[in-house]
Amino acid sequence: MPPVAVPESRPKPPRPWVPRASMASALVLGAALMTGVAAAPPADAAEIAVPAGGPGSVALTVHNGTAVVRERRPASLPAGESVLAFPDVPDGADATSVRLTVSGGDAGSLRVLERALSADVPSQQRLLELSVGQEIGLLIHDQGPDAPPRRATARVLSVAEDVVLEMDGAIRVGLPGELVLDSLPEGLRASPTLLATVATEAGGDETLDLTYLTSGLNWQADYALDLGDSLSGGDLRGWATVTNTSGRSFDDAHLTLAAGTVNTGGGGGARPEMAMRSDSLAMAAMPATPAPQAQGGLYFYPVERPVSLAHRQTKQVALVDAPGVTVTPRYVIPAPSPEVYANARTDEDEVNAARWLVLTNTEDAGLGRPLPAGTVRVWQAGPDGAPRFLGADQIGHTAVGAEATLRLGTDFDITAERRRLAFRRIGERVTESEHEIVVHNGKSDQPVTVTVQADLPGDRTLLSESHERTRESANRVAWTLEVPAEGETRLTYAIRTQF
């Protein structure tokens, strides 16, 4: 973790109230993995509030669906046992993952005896539930439009289905006004709070390192590929789109992005829909991009500048800047339905060629760095210089030396007529068929190379062909055809099918 700013130690705050041990929403772990409910700390153990540090005191490592939060918080610790309360943690903080140490100190100087997450935070429903059998205040607006509301009291009888009150000698269903309480009920905290019962031999002012996993922080890569005059090269720029729905804001955090797949031991959270995309930023000058660091089968991208990320905010940081990238355009006629080889009633059709762009992740091609998974949007300037959108596709994590294929759509000018010339049933479960594919190129100034695909699993045998094939996989072959400008090229082949 980079050096972080540590605020000066504060004097010991007044002792706050202590949550009830039976609080339903607290998740408690004994340090010795006890079963059942962890024992409460000694009655005389002081609870010490350890507030969040200032800007620069947090480091975030964001994976896809989870994040590691490391905070430095100052605390004044007494000798013996005490309960440390760390307020303002994210809503999805995982108490089972907490690591608490003294920054730069002896690892054994602080012993963690118990850990808990107190997530019982105020809401109107929860305030009413904790007020059953007690009196509450109500602000009732019945004194006229210009008069202030009057304050009344009522006793809460039930909130099981509806709010049932005893008020002015009668039973009333529903809240007649705004709920008012003089203080929070016992057991509620203003924000999710991590609790740790600790023991120290000698007290004093310390800086504590608090590390934990949380949900609610996600990122994805968004790329923009700006092609030049031809389709064979352009500039690739990538931005990391980071979204914070954790319930907490972070000021000047040290941000590291992690690319790769990690198992967190539980169900992963769904990725929120990203409201901000990189396209509007693609043509702007790129700031410095982070250098990838390989570790444990993942790649980590430390962002140089501190990043402030508010709750419910989406922000982009520079990730990749690769000008002068070489790409390879491909035109592909997809394989026909397998029914054309076995069913005499199935007709073939006319299709447009698919438009592909192939990125080769090598230094010779202008890349040579790991590319995190994300969306690549392809643009090319029109006659007036304004960018025109040509299509987009998702890529997976692309290692150095690997290829990424962008399937952008179909080509208007390149078509293929697929015809079945003959069909014979030569046995109860054997057929033979002859096929012709005529590829047309409507471009007036450009010859094209077109790949024609066919699926040939083990039950199909190629009997003849007019062009030499290549095998793309165990079940697929392909023919490469050169088609002249405003011309056509014809492919024929015959297939025997057993079923």
Model pLDDT for residues 287-339, shown as the tens digit of each residue: 788 999 999 999 999 999 999 999 999 999 999 999 999 999 999 999 988 88
Average pLDDT over residues 61-73: 93
Residues whose CB is less than 8 angstroms from the CB of residue 427 and which lie 6 or more positions away in sequence, other chains included: none
Q: Is the pLDDT of residue 142 over 80?
A: yes
Query: Which pair of structure tokens corresponds to residue 371?
Result: 């590319």
Task: Note the pLDDT tens digit of each residue in 6-53.
Answer: 444 444 443 333 333 333 333 333 333 332 333 344 555 668 999 988
Answer with the residue of higher pLDDT: 280 or 70: 70
480 three-class SS = strand
In the prediction, which pLDDT does 108 show? 62
In the prediction, which pLDDT does 163 show? 93
380 near 448, Cβ under 8 Å? no
In the prediction, which pLDDT does 312 show? 94
- Determine which helix (DSSP H) or strand (DSSP E) holds 416, and give its type and residue range: strand 403-427
Average pLDDT over residues 97-123: 82
Query: Which pair of structure tokens corresponds to residue 487?
Result: 């011309």
Question: Lowest mean pLDDT: which of 57-61, 189-193, 317-321, 411-415?
Answer: 189-193
Residue 492 has a CB neighbour count (10 Å cut-off) of 15
Pairing, β 350-360 against β 403-427? antiparallel
Cα separation, 454 vs 495, in Å, equals: 10
Segments making up each domain of the chain, as ranges:
27-121+188-214, 124-180, 326-498
* CATH (residue range 124-180): 2.30.30
Cα separation, 188 vs 184, in Å, equals: 6
Q: How many residues does the chain have?
A: 499
Return the amino acid letter for 35. Answer: T
**Percent of the chain predicted with pLDDT > 90:** 61
Sheet holding 27-30, edge to edge: 27-30, 110-118, 193-200, 80-86, 46-49
Highest mean pLDDT: which range of 29-33, 181-185, 488-492: 488-492
> What's the burial of 88, exposed, middle or buried (CB within 10 Å: 0-12/13-18/19+)?
middle
The alpha carbon dihedral of 373, 327, 275, 1 has a sign of positive
Task: Note the pLDDT tens digit of each residue in 386-407.
Answer: 999 999 999 999 999 999 999 9
Query: Which pair of structure tokens corresponds to residue 265?
Result: 């031991």
In the prediction, which pLDDT does 12 show? 41
Task: Note the pLDDT tens digit of each residue in 334-381.
Answer: 998 888 887 877 777 899 999 999 999 999 999 999 999 999 999 999
* CATH (residue range 27-121+188-214): 2.60.40
pTM, two decimals, is 0.75
Query: Which pair of structure tokens corresponds to residue 112?
Result: 């963690």
List the one residue out of 490, 434, 423, 491 whose CA is nearest residue 462: 434
Q: Is the pLDDT of residue 430 over 60?
A: yes
89 three-class SS = coil
Q: Is the pLDDT of residue 266 over 70?
A: no
In the prediction, which pLDDT does 23 show? 30
Cα separation, 449 vs 170, in Å, equals: 87
